[in-house]
């Protein structure tokens, strides 16, 4: 199959890596030094690239092109695209719309209120503050007291001056990422994963795009979470905006059962890295099936075992991007893959240039062996300021958000 992958981060490297293993001809419209080994890289507007290449499928990694309506534009050209339309992507692209959707359909979630910037703030001793629109992983603040809530609301108003702000009740419990491929009617779930969003060990420090992930995470609430995702897909179809693509539910496993923290309309990053590492069968027929409105079977085959992805960043992340020569990397092996998120080739040299630079992903028969393999790989990475959490896959479940 001829496939165009849109997006240039670690998630798209993982998608390309998984598809290339099954012999597909890959094209990429963004730059990432790792893509050259997987297919043809021609940087440009994805719609123009698709028009020129006429692929059998376009796989869209990031949320921004979904928000911009790339799937609608590809539909108009009759080019199959994996990802939701602009209207369906509102599950992620508008936090306010998404919350109203959850409440409209009785999907379990935190209580919330919406305020416009400048409107008086209700009294809140703690809570979660979210900007309405996309914010590249930076628009959520988990606040422990009233002063933090006030500061977060001020920051949210600075970030999106015209936007609305969502104020949510703070939920307590372990957090889990449940992703399912949807054809607009039916879903097929992937193994549950766990992201580690806080910057520092022990779930301390600012929220980030994700400092590492593990899968599978075995939880008794899995079926309940999957059923909530299925209800969401059914409700989207009833509202006339069927959701085709990957629906990602961020759940808090509270004492009163799983509650939705948010929806995302794309693969998580770094969840995608561990999920792709665990896939046994070819993903392409599933992505095409989702795009065409008919998934090819009842379940996706994953390999027996565990995966652990440790994200390597520059030391100033998330405030500053890395800028350093990478002088050593571990070699990929059957039980280790290094996914590139923020690297650039300058002549012969490879540089760390992003916030999140690499996702070093280990595989093993147990969670512990996968974790050990990933950290052995991480210790072979050399660039000035290279930094990572040391407790990916090892920390307790306690988190809040």
Binding footprint of ligand GLY on the chain (CB under 6 A): 195, 210, 264, 268-269, 271
Cβ–Cβ under 8 Å, residues 327 and 316: no
Q: How far is the CB of 51 from ligand GLY (least distance, A)?
A: 29
Going by C-alpha positions, the residue among 319, 230, 242 that lies closest to residue 86 is 242
Q: How far is the CB of 193 from ligand GLY (least distance, A)?
A: 9
Q: How far is the CB of 92 from ligand GLY (least distance, A)?
A: 9
Q: How far is the CB of 68 from ligand GLY (least distance, A)?
A: 18
- Residue whose CB is less far from ligand GLY, 252 or 288: 252
- Residue whose CB is less far from ligand GLY, 245 or 268: 268
Q: How far is the CB of 374 from ligand GLY (least distance, A)?
A: 16
CA distances from 242 to 227, 319, 383 (A): 17, 37, 45
- Residue whose CB is less far from ligand GLY, 8 or 210: 210
Helices 95-104 and 222-238 cross at an angle (nearest 10°) of: 100
Q: How far is the CB of 162 from ligand GLY (least distance, A)?
A: 24
Q: Are strands 2-6 and 57-60 parallel, antiparallel or unpaired?
A: parallel
One DSSP character per residue, 302-352 reads: B-SSEEEEEEEE-TTTTTS---EEE-B-PPPBTTEEEEESSEEEETTEEEE
Q: How far is the CB of 327 from ligand GLY (least distance, A)?
A: 28
Q: How far is the CB of 116 from ligand GLY (least distance, A)?
A: 25
- Residue whose CB is less far from ligand GLY, 109 or 264: 264
Q: Give Cβ neighbours of residue 127 (< 8 Å, ≥ 6 apart).
A: 143, 149, 167, 168, 169, 170
One DSSP character per residue, 152-191 reads: HHHHHHHHSTTSEEEEEPPPEE-EEEEEEEEESS-EEEPP
- Residue whose CB is less far from ligand GLY, 276 or 288: 276
- Residue whose CB is less far from ligand GLY, 195 or 335: 195
Element (DSSP H or E) covering residue 90: helix 90-93
- Residue whose CB is less far from ligand GLY, 12 or 195: 195
Cβ–Cβ under 8 Å, residues 102 and 247: no
Q: Give Cβ neighbours of residue 333 (< 8 Å, ≥ 6 apart).
A: none
Q: How far is the CB of 272 from ligand GLY (least distance, A)?
A: 8
Residue with tokens 């209207």: 87
Quote the CA–CA distance of 86 and 89 in Å, as a whole number: 5
Quote the CA–CA distance of 285 and 79 in Å, as a whole number: 15
- Residue whose CB is less far from ligand GLY, 17 or 288: 17
State both tokens at 272. 């995608």
What phi and psi values does residue 343 have, to the nearest 5 degrees?
A: -130, 160
Going by C-alpha positions, the residue among 260, 59, 105, 108 that lies closest to residue 178 is 260
Q: How far is the CB of 79 from ligand GLY (least distance, A)?
A: 26
Going by C-alpha positions, the residue among 324, 182, 192 that lies closest to residue 243 is 182
- Residue whose CB is less far from ligand GLY, 53 or 102: 102
- Residue whose CB is less far from ligand GLY, 14 or 71: 14
Going by C-alpha positions, the residue among 226, 234, 276 that lies closest to residue 251 is 226
- Residue whose CB is less far from ligand GLY, 53 or 225: 225
Q: How far is the CB of 195 from ligand GLY (least distance, A)?
A: 4
């Amino acid at each position: 199959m001829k496939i165009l992958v849109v997006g240039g981060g670690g998630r798209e490297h993982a998608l390309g890596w998984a598809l290339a293993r099954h012999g597909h001809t890959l094209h990429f419209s963004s730059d990432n030094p790792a893509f050259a080994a997987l297919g043809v890289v021609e940087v440009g507007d994805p719609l123009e690239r698709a028009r020129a290449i006429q692929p059998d499928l376009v796989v869209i990694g990031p949320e921004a092109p979904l928000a911009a309506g790339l799937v609608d534009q590809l539909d108009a050209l009759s080019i199959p695209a994996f990802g939701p339309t602009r209207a369906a992507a509102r599950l992620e692209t508008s936090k306010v719309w998404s919350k109203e959707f959850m409440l409209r359909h009785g999907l379990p979630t935190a209580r919330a209120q919406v305020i416009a910037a400048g409107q008086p703030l209700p009294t809140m001793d703690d809570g979660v503050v979210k900007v309405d629109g996309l914010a590249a992983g930076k628009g959520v603040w988990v606040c422990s007291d009233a002063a933090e809530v006030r500061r977060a609301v001020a920051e949210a108003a600075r970030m999106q001056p015209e936007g609305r702000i969502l104020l949510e009740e703070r939920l307590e419990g372990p957090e889990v990422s449940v992703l399912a491929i949807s054809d607009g009617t039916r879903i097929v779930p992937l193994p549950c994963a766990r992201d580690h969003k806080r910057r520092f060990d022990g779930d301390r420090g600012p929220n980030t795009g994700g400092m590492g992930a593990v899968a599978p995470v075995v939880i008794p609430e899995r079926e309940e979470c999957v059923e909530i995702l299925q209800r969401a897909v059914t409700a989207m179809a009833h509202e006339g905006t069927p959701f085709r693509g990957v629906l990602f539910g961020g759940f808090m496993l509270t004492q009163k059962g799983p509650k939705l923290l948010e929806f995302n309309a794309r693969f998580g990053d770094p969840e995608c890295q561990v999920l792709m590492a665990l896939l046994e069968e070819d993903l392409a027929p599933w992505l095409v099936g989702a795009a065409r409105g008919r998934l090819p079977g009842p379940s996706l085959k994953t390999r027996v075992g565990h995966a652990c992805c440790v994200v390597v960043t520059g030391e100033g992340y998330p405030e500053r991007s890395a800028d350093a020569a990478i002088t050593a990397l571990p070699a990929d092996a059957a039980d280790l893959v290094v996914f590139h998120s923020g690297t650039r080739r300058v002549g012969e040299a490879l540089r760390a240039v992003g916030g999140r630079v690499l996702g070093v992903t280990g595989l093993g028969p147990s969670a512990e062996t996968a974790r050990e393999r990933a950290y052995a790989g991480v210790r072979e990475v050399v660039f000035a300021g290279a930094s990572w959490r040391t407790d990916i896959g090892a920390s307790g479940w306690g988190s809040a958000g």
